[in-house]
Chain A
């Protein structure tokens, strides 16, 4: 999913960026190798065994990553923790960094697990592709093995999901017009909700 703005839509793009909505990725990984740029096309640094890894161990690590990132989320949102307002937002789960912040993962879970391959679904904010590959590498290290990232695919960008995306064969004026029409309402409600 890659969002494009046409004409007046460009101004909406900057507004959407300021909403700081989460993006969702499916990340594929492979255990047993470690490379210098954390992906499987990089130069090999090390090979390790991985037969001790089970799905349960992976899920435990994912739970910890979520916990640490949840804490980072609260800390970077620049709200004073001592106020009642902070408590109310924390209960509803609406605390979010509204300014610049390092990459934060709001949710992560394992979709598929078939040694040596695995697939994760990651919801994150302000991330880069290198950060996602690094996460895969660190999961490998934490499980006392190593891992490389084989695939990164964005399946959601704020309000736009895979269902709204157009295939390569659909890149013609009529489909684009229909897509803009369908998404208009969603974008407007989201902007109103966040920016007031």
Chain B
């Protein structure tokens, strides 16, 4: 009706006003073009954002909720009586955090978030805490007991010497233990130590729940720059390029030449002796390491053909060089049964067993197979889209492109892929996240991503 009135005005039709003119208030009538333009210019200008707005950092979570690992209490214990608890969060859900999160790690039913701030609280944990993998979370009802399930991001108190100067660089989570890397005070370990994965001597019949013990590890050949948790073992990479390991070794995942447990971090030799390692990765019982020259080394479980290119044995307890002719390798990630590497040119290669990302027909391969870049958004229209990072969960893979898009594929265990559907995904699929994804951490049945908003 408004549009019709406007058109009437523009054509110059006049309303018969004589009969209505009684000296009372006149009806508004259709406006002329000049009146419209004046009204437009006089309209107030709204400013939603300043001249140089900062892009905000956000955290998104999705996956299985009942363990509390997503950090949203209303999923497990709804705030209104009629609401039902949410079992699975199938799409990314925003998590409010107190500080900007710089590193996140997903374990088996729990999550750690850390910020590189100098404030006293630097690490938050949520999810399962039956082995004190989130430290001692003092219960409000009983001051002596600790919570078994932590439903929202709760600060983890660390015994730091200089709490207002030390920064937490990275966190990592395994099945029931966690590692926290600081810049000047070494590595802190908490959680289950039945196989020595926390780097301290195994105490018989130790109860790990409600334990206050946080162990500190400082003796390495140089500063530790990366910590990685496998299922029940831990790997440490130092600045000089050496790798240390401790924990369960029955599959050879400690790489120390034997199949026993190790309770003190010990240096690895084998094919990586003297090699400058720039990245280590593990999540299940297999481990991969990348050197500065682009070579990849592997050790640990090989029941799923992860190391079948060099050996027929199903367990490898010494690091072996994997002679792949796919180019210089930049980054590697290990999952439970499959492995993924990213080369310098930006190509993604997968091998192992499971849903590898090349359709339902490829279920196992010992030799790396490339995933076509067109599945990651590359096309003639966008020729400069490249994969920037690759990550692995237990049976899922994730890839981040340089445009900030997140692609996932693999087994969709309890909605952990975040696609909104419950079916397994056989080739890379975009996850719709309202922002540019900077980093993602994959767990068994949930994922956490660090995202920068668009403007």
Is B372 interfacial (CB 8 A cutoff)? yes
Interface stretch (choices B180-188, B202-210, B419-427, B439-447): B419-427
**A67-B377, A70-B430 in contact; A84/B359 too (CB < 8 A)?**
yes
Q: Could you tell me if A87 and B43 are in contact, using CB atoms closer than 8 angstroms? A: no
User: CA separation between A32 and B39, bound complex, in Å?
Assistant: 16
Q: Could you tell me if B43 and A81 are in contact, using CB atoms closer than 8 angstroms? A: no
Q: Which residue of chain B lies nearest to A60 when distances are taken between CB atoms in the complex?
A: B454
User: CA separation between A52 and B436, bound complex, in Å?
Assistant: 18
Q: Could you tell me if B377 and A52 are in contact, using CB atoms closer than 8 angstroms? A: no
Q: Which of B43, B50, B359, B403 contacts A63 (CB 8 A)?
A: B403
CB distance from A139 to the nearest CB of B (A): 11
By a CB distance below 8 angstroms, the chain B residues around A143 are 454-455
Q: Could you tell me if B426 and A57 are in contact, using CB atoms closer than 8 angstroms? A: no
Q: Could you tell me if B45 and A87 are in contact, using CB atoms closer than 8 angstroms? A: no
Q: Which of B374, B426, B432, B455 contacts A68 (CB 8 A)?
A: B432
Q: Which residue of chain B lies nearest to A107 when distances are taken between CB atoms in the complex?
A: B381
**A57-B454, A92-B374 in contact; A49/B46 too (CB < 8 A)?**
yes
Q: Could you tell me if B425 and A81 are in contact, using CB atoms closer than 8 angstroms? A: yes
CB distance from A120 to the nearest CB of B (A): 13
By a CB distance below 8 angstroms, the chain A residues around B379 are 93, 107
Q: Could you tell me if A142 and B432 are in contact, using CB atoms closer than 8 angstroms? A: no
User: CA separation between A32 and B43, bound complex, in Å?
Assistant: 12
Q: Could you tell me if A71 and B429 are in contact, using CB atoms closer than 8 angstroms? A: yes
Q: Could you tell me if B454 and A64 are in contact, using CB atoms closer than 8 angstroms? A: yes
Is B2 interfacial (CB 8 A cutoff)? yes
Q: Could you tell me if A87 and B427 are in contact, using CB atoms closer than 8 angstroms? A: yes
CB distance from B281 to the nearest CB of A (A): 26
By a CB distance below 8 angstroms, the chain B residues around A70 are 377, 430
Is A167 interfacial (CB 8 A cutoff)? no
Is A43 interfacial (CB 8 A cutoff)? yes
Is A191 interfacial (CB 8 A cutoff)? no
**A51-B51, A63-B405, A92-B374 in contact; A44/B40 too (CB < 8 A)?**
yes
Is A55 interfacial (CB 8 A cutoff)? no
Is A61 interfacial (CB 8 A cutoff)? yes
Is A129 interfacial (CB 8 A cutoff)? no
Q: Which residue of chain B lies nearest to A63 when distances are taken between CB atoms in the complex?
A: B403
**A64-B454, A82-B423, A87-B358 in contact; A48/B432 too (CB < 8 A)?**
no
Q: Could you tell me if A82 and B361 are in contact, using CB atoms closer than 8 angstroms? A: no
B320-372 interface (Cβ within 8 A of A):
358-361, 372
Is B6 interfacial (CB 8 A cutoff)? yes
Is A109 interfacial (CB 8 A cutoff)? yes
Q: Which residue of chain A lies nearest to B2 when distances are taken between CB atoms in the complex?
A: A43
User: CA separation between A81 and B429, bound complex, in Å?
Assistant: 10
Is B49 interfacial (CB 8 A cutoff)? yes
- Indicate with 1 or 0, residue by residue over B274-304, a CB within 8 angstroms of chain A CB atoms: 0000000000000000000000000000000
Is B23 interfacial (CB 8 A cutoff)? no
Q: Could you tell me if A47 and B375 are in contact, using CB atoms closer than 8 angstroms? A: no
Q: Which of B46, B359, B375, B432 contacts A46 (CB 8 A)?
A: B46
CB distance from B333 to the nearest CB of A (A): 22
**A70-B377, A81-B423, A143-B455 in contact; A48/B45 too (CB < 8 A)?**
yes
B46, B51, B382, B424 — most chain A CB neighbours (10 Å)? B46
Q: Could you tell me if B360 and A82 are in contact, using CB atoms closer than 8 angstroms? A: yes
CB distance from B24 to the nearest CB of A (A): 27
CB distance from B104 to the nearest CB of A (A): 22
Is A88 interfacial (CB 8 A cutoff)? yes
CB distance from B350 to the nearest CB of A (A): 13
By a CB distance below 8 angstroms, the chain A residues around B359 are 83-84, 86-88
**A63-B405, A82-B423 in contact; A93/B46 too (CB < 8 A)?**
no
User: CA separation between A64 and B48, bound complex, in Å?
Assistant: 21
By a CB distance below 8 angstroms, the chain A residues around B423 are 81-82
Q: Could you tell me if B374 and A93 are in contact, using CB atoms closer than 8 angstroms? A: yes
A123-140 interface (Cβ within 8 A of B):
123
- Indicate with 1 or 0, residue by residue over B102-122, a CB within 8 angstroms of chain A CB atoms: 000000000000000000000
Q: Could you tell me if B381 and A60 are in contact, using CB atoms closer than 8 angstroms? A: no
Q: Could you tell me if A52 and B51 are in contact, using CB atoms closer than 8 angstroms? A: yes
- Indicate with 1 or 0, residue by residue over A31-74, a CB within 8 angstroms of chain B CB atoms: 01000110000011011110110000100110110111011001
Q: Which of A57, A66, A90 contacts B375 (CB 8 A)?
A: A90
User: CA separation between A143 and B377, bound complex, in Å?
Assistant: 23
User: CA separation between A93 and B361, bound complex, in Å?
Assistant: 19
Is A119 interfacial (CB 8 A cutoff)? no
**A61-B454, A82-B360 in contact; A71/B430 too (CB < 8 A)?**
yes
Is B404 interfacial (CB 8 A cutoff)? yes
By a CB distance below 8 angstroms, the chain B residues around A93 are 374, 379
By a CB distance below 8 angstroms, the chain A residues around B49 are 52, 144-145
By a CB distance below 8 angstroms, the chain B residues around A66 are 377, 382
User: CA separation between A88 and B404, bound complex, in Å?
Assistant: 25
Is B53 interfacial (CB 8 A cutoff)? yes
User: CA separation between A91 and B379, bound complex, in Å?
Assistant: 10
User: CA separation between A91 and B376, bound complex, in Å?
Assistant: 9
Q: Could you tell me if B44 and A144 are in contact, using CB atoms closer than 8 angstroms? A: no
By a CB distance below 8 angstroms, the chain A residues around B436 are 60
Query: Could you pull out 10 A-B pairs where Cβ atoms are within 8 angstroms?
Result: A61-B454, A66-B377, A67-B377, A67-B405, A70-B377, A71-B432, A83-B359, A87-B426, A87-B427, A144-B53
Q: Which 5 pairs of residues, A with B, have the shortest CB-CB distance?
A: A87-B359, A84-B359, A144-B49, A144-B48, A49-B47
* 7 further contact pairs, Cβ within 8 A, besides A48-B47, A92-B374, A107-B381: A44-B43, A48-B46, A52-B51, A57-B455, A67-B405, A84-B360, A145-B49
A-contacting residues of B (Cβ < 8 Å)?
2-3, 6, 39-40, 43-53, 358-361, 372, 374-375, 377, 379, 381-382, 403-405, 423-427, 429-430, 432, 436, 454-455
